[in-house]
Structure 1
Amino acid sequence: MDWHRFETTIARQQLAGDESMPSDVFEILSTEDARYAVYALAHDPNRTLSQLADFVAGFTAMRSGTIATPADHENVRIRLHHAVLPKLDATGYVTYDRSNQTIEAAPRQETVNAALGLRG
């Protein structure tokens, strides 16, 4: 699925009050970092924090027409580690091992991906 269609699907489901998407997931998807992370994890759920931060920082830079810097990567890594991944873990979308900084698919990921129109 392409990014534009992913964002359109999220917006359409939010406006329609889609019951198939739990409200806790919509809340998490309100941030750009979280949307980029979910998009990346839907295609490759087993990553390290650093790999995910690379994707999110790079995708952010690409969409804004800039180049990601090491500082951008570090800022994204911190936001993912302290905010996004713990929330995705709490909803059952991923399992985030904070000490090893590894991410794995969790039982709810397939259901959420299907509701968002994402396929791995």
Structure 2
Amino acid sequence: MGYDHNMVDISALQSASGEMAVDDVIRTLGNRHARNAIIYLHDHPRATFDELADVLAASEASSDETISTPADRERIRIQLYHAILPRLAEVGFVRFDSETNTVTDTTIPKPVVDALGIGD
């Protein structure tokens, strides 16, 4: 049986997680909004909070084949501020400045980039 390029290399994710438990990295990647934020931040490493909220709301609406409402965007803003960005910061993928509401640094490890199929 050949290597399946769609499979995630857990040992590579382990090395990418550094001191963080690989379970925390995998749990982070298990959240679709976190994955979409990582994908966006890979190409826009200094995004604003509002920019990320717009992108995640649009992504959700696109995948659900709906139109994003202000209530949808507000729900995502709450998740982004209280769960997604803190989790991404905790695993070391971003630095978020809550005073300016801006991601100030993005460092997505190559195994995570590969696992998400993000092109260079």
Provide the TM-score with structure 2 as the length reference. Answer: 0.78
Runs of 5+ in structure 1 lacking a partner?
1-7
How many residues are treated as equivalent by the alignment? 107
Q: In the alignment, what sits opposite 2:68?
A: 68
Answer yes or no: is 1:21 the counterpart of 2:21.
Answer: no
Are residues 20 and 31 of structure 1, via their aligned partners in 2, closer, same or farther at CA, if it must alter by over 3 Å? same
* C-alpha distance 117-66 of structure 1, shift in aligned 2 (>3 A): closer
Asked whether the 8 Å contact 1:43–1:119 carries over to 2, the reply is no
Identity, in percent, stands at 35
Measure how far apart 1:116 and its partner are: 3.9
Residues 94/57 of structure 1: CA separation in 2 closer, same or farther (3 Å cut): same
Which digits, 9 at most, give the CA deviation of each residue in 1:6-62, with x for residues without a partner?
xx84xx21xx6x211132221101111111111111121211111001000001001
How far apart, CA to CA, are the structure 1 residues paired with 2:119 and 2:25?
Answer: 17
Question: Could you say which residue in structure 1 is the equivalent of 2:43?
Answer: 43
TM (normalized to structure 1)? Answer: 0.78
Larger-gyration structure (1/2): 2
Structure 2 vs 1, CA of residues 83 and 100 (structure 1 numbering), >3 Å: closer, same or farther?
same
Question: Bigger CA drift: 35-44 or 51-60?
Answer: 35-44
1:94 alignment partner in structure 2: 94
Say whether the 8 Å CA contact 1:96–1:104 is kept in structure 2: yes
Greater shift in the superposed pair: 53-62 or 92-101: 92-101
Letter of the 1:34 counterpart: A
Q: CA deviation at 1:92?
A: 1.1
1:76 deviates by 0.5
Give ranges in structure 2 of 5+ residues lacking alignment. Answer: 15-21
Q: Which has a greater percent of helix?
A: 1
Establish whether residue 34 from structure 1 lines up as the match of residue 26 from structure 2.
no
